[in-house]
A and B are shown apart, each in its own frame.
Chain A
Amino acid sequence: MVSKIKTVTIDGNQAAATVAHLTNEVIAIYPITPASPMGEWADEWSSRKQPNLWGTVPDIVEMQSEAGAAGAIHGALQVGSLTTTFTASQGLLLMIPNMFKIAGELTPTVFHVAARSVAAQALSIFGDHSDVMTARSTGFALLASNSPQEAMDFALIAQAATLESRIPIIHFFDGFRTSHEVAKVISIDLSIIKQMIDPQHITAHRQRALSPEHPVLRGSSQNPDVFFQARESVNPYYIAMPGIVQKVMDQFATLSGRQYKLFDYVGADDAERIIILMGSGAETAHETVDYLTAQGEKVGLVKVHLFRPLDSTALLEAIPTSVTHIAVLDRTKEPGADGEPLYKDVLTTLAQDYCSDNSRFTAMPKIIGGRFGLSSKEFTPAMVKAVFDELDSVSPRNNFTVGIIDDVTQRSLDWDESYRTQANAETFQAVFYGLGSDGTVSANKNSIKIIGECTDKYVQGYFVYDSKKSGAVTISHLRFGDKHIRSAYLIGHGDADFIGCHQPVFLERYPMLDMAAENAIFLLNSSAPAEKVWQTLPEKMQQQIIDKHIKFYVIDAYKVAESTGMDKRINTIMQTCFFSISGILPKEQAIESIKQAVEKTYGKKGKRLVEFNFKAIDETLQNLFEVTVPEKNIPDKIGAHLKLQENIPVTATDFVKRVTAEIIAGRGDHIPVSLFPVDGSYPTGTAAYEKRNIALEVPVLDETLCTQCGKCPLVCPHGVIRSKAYDQSFVTNAPDSFKSMPIKGKDFEQTLHMTYQISPEDCTGCGLCADICPIHDKTNVSHKALNMVPYTPALREQEKLNWKFFLGLPEYERASVKSKTIKGAMLLQPLFEFSGACEGCGETPYIKLASQLFGDRMVVANATGCSSIYGGNLPTTPWTKNAEGRGPAWSNSLFEDNAEFGLGMRIALDKQKQYATELLQQLQPELDETLVTDILTADESSEEGIQQQRQRIQRLKNKLTSINKQEATELDTLAESLSRKSVWIIGGDGWAYDIGYGGLDHVLASGRDVNILVLDTEVYSNTGGQTSKATPRGAVAKFSAGGKPSPKKDLALLAMDYENVYVAHVAYGAKDIQTLHAFNEAEAYPGPSLIIAYSPCIAHGIDLKNNHQQQQLAVDSGHWPLFRYNPQNAKQGINPLHLDSKAPSIPYREFVETEIRFNMLWRTHPETAEKLLEQSQQDVLHRYHFYEQLAGLPWEAADANQPPHRKLATALNQQAQSSIQNNNENNPKSNETNTEQPS
């Protein structure tokens, strides 16, 4: 019986999670893109007490890593719970050891995987099958979904099949393309789910559970005599599995009307050429095959669902006997293999069949294999067509690729980019360019929902972003149509019926009307009035509007937003424009639907927001104007002055011009293989080429007020504001508007001048520099030495000129810098600049500071997270080098191993130095003795000492060239290791407190000279705010919707437990000089150093323009005490612990009231909030008191190897003993009583 159809407009993740939550009891997860939303959905539903199928609310547990999640799942399964997880990529790899166990023990479970690339030459969060393919040998079945609908359907089919078959299943679908594609999905009625999940199988699962009531031993250790046989004992289950899956699929078809096969065939019955593949690409291939067969082509497609266990009979049955040519496409790469997994399985199946006595084929089909779509690379009908064409060629190439230009091994197929299927003409296609912060994406998701739910139309939404966290560009691709949409690819050039440009600055950055179809509609948000907006368009765009007969509309959305209380949120306004001019829905109906959606979002509790939105919707229509388009453009009369930006200077390297610049321009897809570094090494210093001009306001200095304190360059999260001290003679050639001041301070020659200069095009306008500026005009306190002013085109041009001049000024001599003062340290060139971190990021000032102080000798191991994304996501990197070519060398290994990764670097550098020293000593007779002695005894504790050593090494290298010995050649390659290198291990709290803590702990214990910088945002920032063990008590975060009940882990105290670890707790916005001291001391300390840096984050629910204020509140409330623990002091008889902040001076409440992460709890769980607040208040008081006692202990050199807390414990113990003794002496009776106590 097919139940009544009910549709929901959701993405693939939500579709899968819906079923997973309904059919499980325990869900153990760890966040990883692009699977995180599945866990978040499940957590949200459970936090809302939404029950599963059997009326109980699933228990969601967030673990410290995927390995931990897998362990927890294994345990939960063993005691008989229905258990699941969601993961991807490296996360799945971390689960593999447990997966062998889970499968080996025939334990039913489904792991839902949003399949993603495994990091190789680079990390990539995008979709392919390289992760699930690594799990082939675990014994898990592999079941592929190709669309959001299938993600829901197969989540259920998998659950039913695993329970019956006892084989655990990886249910996977393509990361992003399916996991994040919004589509209209037919929901599965609860009654169907109930019928699909047979209670008998659940009972059987529970009966197999470990229980002391009927104990067994499971997970034994076996010897050669039996392991093999036992391993083979499961064969019958794997043989039965495909049949069970097909049976379940058939049952599902009966109930839902949607029939799936293990291998679904579509296409001509008499097909000669077919493609076999799985995942979202199959949908695109399906669309193309439909189009080609309609034209009479004899082509077909096998869509693989159950990849493992492979049912060769079912696969063969799916292939028409007429087939002569088969192309098997894999969305993965196995370097060195002679074909990818699916190809090889198909080949084997066909070969075995052909060798059998009763082959289906009269001739063995020609089978070729190829790769496509790695890391969400586009896979279009044109590429499908190219594969069919290849099959039609005289000698079809094997081991080909499609979708890239491989000019190295010549394996790529050519494709015709202009090729389209009929689907293109059957859908309304719209593309929107917006900013992450302007709500464009949420508006579009809402539009899809409206159309999906108000009409019979099929819908599709897919969203493309750049990797920046500030000023991120979003491109929304929306399709609406009367037929099922299988187009799992982006809207192509010339195809969009509607283009929305929500930010006028994009006009000069993106050739967006290339996307427009003939007679398309173009909507622009611009402050230019309708009669003048034409002149603001680039000439090319004007011509496209005329040539393609585009209807052009304009609205000043920010003006409407401002006047209606919407502040800078233009989402509803632009959405209203879209509906009113696209004609996709009757206008009145659309507007009514938008209003309903607004009410649903904000509800009764957001009444004012509803009111503002309604007002904005109504005013939008009055402010939307159609622009009169000239019939024929005459550029010089029309006055177009904008051109697409090309920022790459002629002096840039060839690589930057041919690769970096192309990626920046959005043409990365066209870069051929030959241009890529084979080992993933890229030049640094490239962020400087990416001029984004995203600021609305930039700082301007009033040099008459400036006291040259240096605070502004210190706090700038983006390295945009710089200081330089230079000889006054340079001023002569400066541009007129260049601001130069005679230098202040006794540390400097008085002939010097000082300048604070910004790079206007790199500024994000966060305003923190002006915020920290301590100098006010005495006659007008609102005017400071640094003031934010509107970023006008004139100011941009002026400051570009000044910046160029500033860059040409010489850097201040490092050896002369007084780096223990803020002003002095800020004269050091930042070797971390213009990152794409959030405006006002609380992390980057620390990294920048380290780069200034030590950048020319830094090697960085960077854990995966925000810092690896703003630090190393192509196209550009903020890490850069100085005029001498020196700068930080950076690498990201994994999330979990960063401490070990950095330790490896240290060990190798030390080993190299040791070997170089040995070689130097061996070669001493042939070298200048003084030089050798000087090198070996060099004091590199100062900049001057480092410079001198570098000069000595250069002299050494010069001499080595004249020594004809193998040792000399060896030493030449290692000579640089004789100079000091600074190893920095950088990462966030998710790494340091959770997934990487084991490694971190080991590295701290190693005693090696590494500097560990923990950028503590107290939450997993990069993946969207999940709870970590750094999350404070009472904070609301994902997986702590009811407020985190346990306190933040005291990582500093744990580190201090090792007697020889330098530890600092810093917050630059509260006490910058303490931060500076900590960095200098940490780097100088010859053992492990740990700096835990408080980093306000947008995830805290604060406006980052208040970054410094929040740091101050954190310190003043005792949430973040400032201290330094220097074991070297202990050796000198000084207490190693030094408190740098005073006792909590404000109630903890004053701190938490200012941050949404805390105060949200008062709105949801007020009693819990009060209780947790009270505990937190006690926590901070106790902690400060504890540290105060430790820091106050008298110290002697003899105590050097004793951390203060152990000394305190000893002291307290002695005190207690003494007290007991005194009591006993004074109160003999109590003594008697005590003796009666049981021991």
Chain B
Amino acid sequence: MIDLTTQYLGLSLNNPLVASSSPLTGNLDDAKRLEDAGAAAIVLPSLFEESVLHEQKQLEKFVHSQALGNYEADSFQPVPADYNGELDNYLEHLQNLKSSLNIPIIASLNGISNSGWIDYGKEMMQAGADALELNVYYIAADPAQTGEEVEKHYIELLNRLREQISIPVTMKLSSQFSSVSNMVTRLQAAGANGVVLFNRFYQPDIDLDSLRIKPHLELSNPMESLLRIRWIALIRSHVELSLAATGGFHNVESIVKALLAGADAVYLCSVLLSKGPDYCGVLLQQLQQWLTDKEYESVLQMQGSVSQSCAIDPAAYEHSNYVNVIKSYHS
């Protein structure tokens, strides 16, 4: 029997396949199916700072404001005895998962400001999260802001979160850093237990009828996995922290490649959304088959075996791919 176990964020996982943030992990029944299908851990959908803030401001405006300065209509909505905000619902879901599932549960926080929302991480920890993923949704659109400042902001957020919680923290990053390797190294120094490479942003789209901007999200495609594999291979030998690959991992081949490049875990999202949670089991079986066919003993054995430091042609990760690709295209 091949040993599929892996260590991720200090957690022992039965295998490297993690169900990433998606509506599936936000639903208890689907989450159970994921576990049954063999997912080694699940990451909850992100609790968005923007969304929580919007909710609280709406409540302030329409519910808490009760003395409106009118003799007759001094208020409109009844003030409820209690209400469950997004955070409450999130924590309740987290607790339900913890009591129903045996695999580790990774909570996810998504925000940008260096403020009190970080405190929500503590509540997630108290609700039973095994680890926390900090998903910094930050679009550095301000031309006055330097890359250095942006990076500093990430570090500060991590520092604040680390002050609050004792469970492992992983940072979900975008690929848009001048130096991904340097950034990951600095995050490790600041106490990150892992990084997840790479985030896929919602991309705004233009509605051609109204000419208004509308958010848009498309499922990933398998080609996107290559970018992740490359960077994991490049980083693996420089850092100790956990590396997870996310974005475009739709088949066993890409999963194997990520592991060979040095990933400790591989996140699955689009593939499960399109093929259903049970497909995790299929991929797991295929992984096992591949390892069997290639006569590996364990996942551990293969992990990082084709990282840059171990690769047959390490330089190929850095530049020669480009030349080769162009040539092959023309030929």
Chain A residues 1090 to 1111 lying within 8 A of chain B, measured CB to CB, are 1098-1099, 1101, 1103
Contacts of A607 in B (CB 8 A): 56, 116, 119
Fill in one digit per residue for B47-67: 1 if any A CB lies within 8 Å of its CB, else 0: 000001100111111111111
Tell me whether A1231 is interfacial, beta carbon within 8 Å. Answer: no
Give the 6 A-B CB pairs with smallest separation, nearest first.
A436-B69, A1025-B76, A442-B67, A1163-B83, A48-B81, A474-B69
Q: Are B69 and A441 closer than 8 Å at their CB atoms?
A: yes
**In the bound complex, CA of A1123 to CA of B63 (Å):** 34
Tell me whether B1 is interfacial, beta carbon within 8 Å. Answer: no
Tell me whether A176 is interfacial, beta carbon within 8 Å. Answer: yes
Q: Are B71 and A125 closer than 8 Å at their CB atoms?
A: yes
Q: A43-B78, A608-B117 are in contact. Are A176 and B60 (CB under 8 A)?
A: no
Q: Are B81 and A1021 closer than 8 Å at their CB atoms?
A: no
B110 CB → nearest A CB, Å: 15
User: Which segment of A141-149, A598-606, A809-817 sits at the interface?
Assistant: A598-606
**In the bound complex, CA of A473 to CA of B58 (Å):** 23
Fill in one digit per residue for B194-225: 1 if any A CB lies within 8 Å of its CB, else 0: 00000000000000000100000000000000
A and B contact pairs by CB, cutoff 8 A, 7 listed: A40-B78, A49-B81, A441-B67, A609-B57, A1024-B70, A1024-B76, A1098-B76
Chain B residue at minimum C-beta to C-beta distance from A615 = B115
A605 touches which one: B53, B74, B87 (CB < 8 A)? B87
Q: Are A1160 and B74 closer than 8 Å at their CB atoms?
A: no
Q: Are B78 and A1041 closer than 8 Å at their CB atoms?
A: yes
Contacts of B2 in A (CB 8 A): none
Contacts of B57 in A (CB 8 A): 567, 609
Contacts of B115 in A (CB 8 A): 608, 611
Q: Are A1160 and B77 closer than 8 Å at their CB atoms?
A: yes
A906 CB → nearest B CB, Å: 30
Fill in one digit per residue for B88-121: 1 if any A CB lies within 8 Å of its CB, else 0: 1100000000000000000000000001110100
Contacts of A781 in B (CB 8 A): 211
Number of interface residues of B (CB under 8 A): 40
**In the bound complex, CA of A1020 to CA of B237 (Å):** 68
Which applies to chain B's interface (DSSP): helix, strand, loop or mixed? loop
Q: Which residues of A contact B (CB under 8 A)?
A: 33-34, 36-37, 40, 43-44, 47-49, 125, 176, 434-437, 439-442, 445, 463, 465, 467, 469, 472-474, 567, 569, 601-602, 605-609, 611, 776, 781, 869, 1019, 1021-1025, 1036-1038, 1041, 1098-1099, 1101, 1103, 1156-1157, 1160, 1163-1164, 1166
Q: Are A606 and B87 closer than 8 Å at their CB atoms?
A: no
Q: Are B73 and A1025 closer than 8 Å at their CB atoms?
A: yes
Contacts of A1101 in B (CB 8 A): 58, 62-63, 76-77
Contacts of A1156 in B (CB 8 A): 58-59, 62-63, 77
A1099 touches which one: B52, B53, B66, B76 (CB < 8 A)? B76
Tell me whether B145 is interfacial, beta carbon within 8 Å. Answer: no
Chain A residue at minimum C-beta to C-beta distance from B82 = A1164
**In the bound complex, CA of A465 to CA of B63 (Å):** 21
Tell me whether B84 is interfacial, beta carbon within 8 Å. Answer: yes
A220 CB → nearest B CB, Å: 42
Tell me whether B143 is interfacial, beta carbon within 8 Å. Answer: no
Q: Are B69 and A435 closer than 8 Å at their CB atoms?
A: yes
B52 touches which one: A125, A608, A1022 (CB < 8 A)? A608
Q: Are B68 and A609 closer than 8 Å at their CB atoms?
A: no
Tell me whether B273 is interfacial, beta carbon within 8 Å. Answer: no
Tell me whether B75 is interfacial, beta carbon within 8 Å. Answer: yes
Contacts of A1103 in B (CB 8 A): 61
Q: Which residues of B contact A (CB under 8 A)?
A: 52-53, 56-85, 87-89, 115-117, 119, 211
A875 CB → nearest B CB, Å: 15
Q: Are A1041 and B66 closer than 8 Å at their CB atoms?
A: no
Contacts of A601 in B (CB 8 A): 64
Chain A residue at minimum C-beta to C-beta distance from B52 = A608
Q: Are A1041 and B76 closer than 8 Å at their CB atoms?
A: no
A33 touches which one: B64, B71, B82 (CB < 8 A)? B71
Q: A608-B115, A1038-B76 are in contact. List 18 more A-B contacts (CB 8 A).
A: A40-B78, A465-B69, A472-B69, A605-B83, A606-B60, A609-B56, A609-B57, A781-B211, A1021-B73, A1024-B75, A1025-B73, A1025-B75, A1025-B76, A1036-B80, A1041-B78, A1041-B80, A1163-B80, A1163-B84
Chain B residue at minimum C-beta to C-beta distance from A50 = B81
A1146 CB → nearest B CB, Å: 14
Q: A606-B60, A609-B56, A1157-B77 are in contact. Are A437 and B69 (CB under 8 A)?
A: yes
Most chain-A CB neighbours within 10 Å: which of B56, B58, B67, B82?
A: B67
Contacts of B64 in A (CB 8 A): 601-602, 606, 609
**In the bound complex, CA of A607 to CA of B65 (Å):** 16
**In the bound complex, CA of A49 to CA of B81 (Å):** 9
Q: A609-B57, A611-B116, A1036-B78 are in contact. Are A436 and B70 (CB under 8 A)?
A: yes
**In the bound complex, CA of A606 to CA of B56 (Å):** 6
Contacts of B76 in A (CB 8 A): 1019, 1024-1025, 1038, 1098-1099, 1101
Chain A residue at minimum C-beta to C-beta distance from B80 = A1164
Q: Are A1022 and B73 closer than 8 Å at their CB atoms?
A: yes
Chain A residue at minimum C-beta to C-beta distance from B72 = A33
Contacts of A442 in B (CB 8 A): 65-67
Q: Are B71 and A47 closer than 8 Å at their CB atoms?
A: no
Q: Are A1022 and B72 closer than 8 Å at their CB atoms?
A: yes
Q: Are B78 and A1166 closer than 8 Å at their CB atoms?
A: no
Q: Are A176 and B73 closer than 8 Å at their CB atoms?
A: no
A869 CB → nearest B CB, Å: 8
**In the bound complex, CA of A40 to CA of B76 (Å):** 11
Q: A442-B65, A606-B64, A1164-B83 are in contact. Are A465 and B71 (CB under 8 A)?
A: yes
Contacts of B77 in A (CB 8 A): 1025, 1036-1038, 1099, 1101, 1156-1157, 1160
A651 CB → nearest B CB, Å: 33
Q: Are B68 and A436 closer than 8 Å at their CB atoms?
A: yes
**In the bound complex, CA of A611 to CA of B66 (Å):** 20
Most chain-B CB neighbours within 10 Å: which of A441, A605, A1022, A1038?
A: A605
Chain B residue at minimum C-beta to C-beta distance from A435 = B69
A535 CB → nearest B CB, Å: 29
Contacts of B70 in A (CB 8 A): 436, 465, 469, 472, 1024
Q: Are A1024 and B69 closer than 8 Å at their CB atoms?
A: no
Contacts of B71 in A (CB 8 A): 33-34, 125, 176, 465, 467
A1023 CB → nearest B CB, Å: 5
Q: Are B88 and A605 closer than 8 Å at their CB atoms?
A: yes
A564 CB → nearest B CB, Å: 11
A180 CB → nearest B CB, Å: 8
**In the bound complex, CA of A1023 to CA of B62 (Å):** 16
Contacts of B59 in A (CB 8 A): 606, 1156
Contacts of A47 in B (CB 8 A): 78, 80-81
Chain B residue at minimum C-beta to C-beta distance from A37 = B74
**In the bound complex, CA of A646 to CA of B195 (Å):** 68
Q: Are A440 and B69 closer than 8 Å at their CB atoms?
A: yes
Contacts of B87 in A (CB 8 A): 605
Chain B residue at minimum C-beta to C-beta distance from A1103 = B61
**In the bound complex, CA of A123 to CA of B65 (Å):** 28
**In the bound complex, CA of A36 to CA of B68 (Å):** 15
**In the bound complex, CA of A1163 to CA of B51 (Å):** 14
A1020 CB → nearest B CB, Å: 9
B123 CB → nearest A CB, Å: 9
B274 CB → nearest A CB, Å: 22
Chain A residue at minimum C-beta to C-beta distance from B117 = A608
**In the bound complex, CA of A609 to CA of B61 (Å):** 11
Contacts of B78 in A (CB 8 A): 40, 43-44, 47, 1036-1038, 1041
Contacts of B80 in A (CB 8 A): 47, 1036, 1041, 1160, 1163-1164
Chain B residue at minimum C-beta to C-beta distance from A1038 = B78
Q: Are A1160 and B63 closer than 8 Å at their CB atoms?
A: yes
Q: A606-B56, A607-B116, A608-B117 are in contact. Are A44 and B72 (CB under 8 A)?
A: no
B331 CB → nearest A CB, Å: 44
**In the bound complex, CA of A473 to CA of B70 (Å):** 9
Contacts of B56 in A (CB 8 A): 602, 605-609
